[in-house]
Structure 1
């Protein structure tokens, strides 16, 4: 009777300890690095996803990032508007420096319409262009 009680108590304590471990204590690898462009330097806001998962992050203002990858051999997908998407296999690395390449084919003229966007060729109404400097000159509302 006492042996059964003691055994059940030990199992209960081990289960409680296992349930209290933080999720970071499981087999995850922290990946750190920086994403840059050859001409402009650091790229803020680059989307980084672990391929075939929902795990991801976005680069900071200085282009740095930190991500908990579920596997040390996972593949990271780097994407940014106007740049070619890159897939990088970790292969056990924990520090990455990525240089994004401009992809001019991804850039096309779009028109902001209400709450969406359309390609310039498909708009049937009048279109006008406004420069950022013109917006600065306009009075604040």
Structure 2
């Protein structure tokens, strides 16, 4: 019995020493997280940079954390706010003020017969600018947003140049009627017809249907807005029941006049 006690004591002593060494290699850090108005931010993530050691702030925005002794920086983040690196090299008590990250909610979106800001929208609208389009050579303007919008499916029907594509916004909504969305270019709705007529030659076959957007140069498009819910029907009527794709082309930019002198210089006579 005495031997067992001695053996257990010999095993516990190294464990205590190791725990003390581990505690000696960490340092406590505490602080409070708030926004620019001074309101506490509960649930903010606090993590020692370069490690998986972290915690979250409580209801008052306060946090406590034991980090490795060599840790010099904390990474503080929260949804809707820009992540911030906080130095703890010279202090174990920090107060962090998170700033709202730059948002696209102030971007102007073309809806129906006017424009509005994203934060004022009540419908499902996706807006893509020229910088968001697919890069490279495209055969039709609708390929610029292929795979870029949630709920929008674009499938090429044929490999022929200018052939039409199947476009579906949030799936098939009609059994007997058409399911193509309504295209509106610079405020003018298209009726779905194309400039190229279909040719049906006996014994040869019929030419594939053409894309109604073939007359639009892809490089002239500034933005494309996709209306995906009932608000499109409320604005455009039954034509917008399958969704609406609003295309805005580039406009001339105002710039100060620039003069270049073309007066020939007099040549020296011998």
Taking structure 1 as the reference length, the TM-score comes to: 0.63
2:30–2:64: 8 Å Cα contact kept in structure 1? Answer: yes
For 1:16, the equivalent position in structure 2 comes to 12
Matches of 2:57 and 2:80 in 1, distance apart? 16
In the alignment, the residues of structure 1 paired with residue 76 and residue 105 of structure 2 have an alpha-carbon distance, to the nearest angstrom, of 17
1:82–1:106 CA contact under 8 A, matched in 2: no
SS at match of 1:62: coil
Q: CA deviation at 1:38?
A: 1.8
What residue in structure 2 maps to residue 70 of structure 1?
68
Q: Which has the higher contact order (CA 8 A, sep 6+)?
A: 1
Cα-to-partner distance string for 1:79-118 (whole Å, 9 max, x where unaligned): 1111111011211311111010111337798xxxxxxxxx
Q: For this pair of structures, how many residues does the alignment match? A: 109
Q: Give the C-alpha shift of residue 73 in structure 1.
A: 4.3
Regions of 4+ moved over 6 Å? 106-109
Contact 1:75 1:90 (8 Å CA) reproduced = yes
Q: Which residue of 1 aligns with 2:49?
A: 51
2:97 aligns with one of 96, 99, 107:
99
Q: 1:106 to 1:44 in 2, by over 3 A?
A: farther
Task: Trace 1:1-141 onto structure 2 (pairs within 5 A).
Answer: 13=10, 16-20=12-16, 22=19, 25-39=23-37, 41-71=39-69, 73-105=71-103, 120=126, 122-123=149-150, 124=152, 125=170, 126-127=228-229
Distance change (3 Å), C-alpha of 1:106 and 1:60: farther
For residue 42 of structure 1, report the CA deviation from its aligned partner: 0.1
Closer/same/farther in 2, CA of residues 44 and 127 from structure 1, 3 Å limit: farther
Please give the TM-score of this superposition, normalised by the length of structure 2.
0.35
Structure 1 CA distance for aligned equivalents of residues 82 and 96 of structure 2? 12
Aligned partners of 1:34, 1:43: CA distance in 2, in Å? 9
Which SS does the other structure have where 1:41 is aligned? coil
Closer, same or farther: CA 75–127 of 1 in aligned 2, 3 Å: farther
Cα RMSD (Å): 3.1
Structure 2 contact 48–71 (Cα < 8 Å) conserved: no
Tell me how far apart the structure 1 counterparts of residues 31 and 104 of structure 2 sit (CA, whole Å).
25
User: What SS is found at the alignment partner of 1:105?
Assistant: coil
Give, in angstroms, the shift of residue 26 of structure 1.
3.3
The 8 Å contact of residues 49 and 55 in structure 1, kept in 2 or not, is answered as: yes
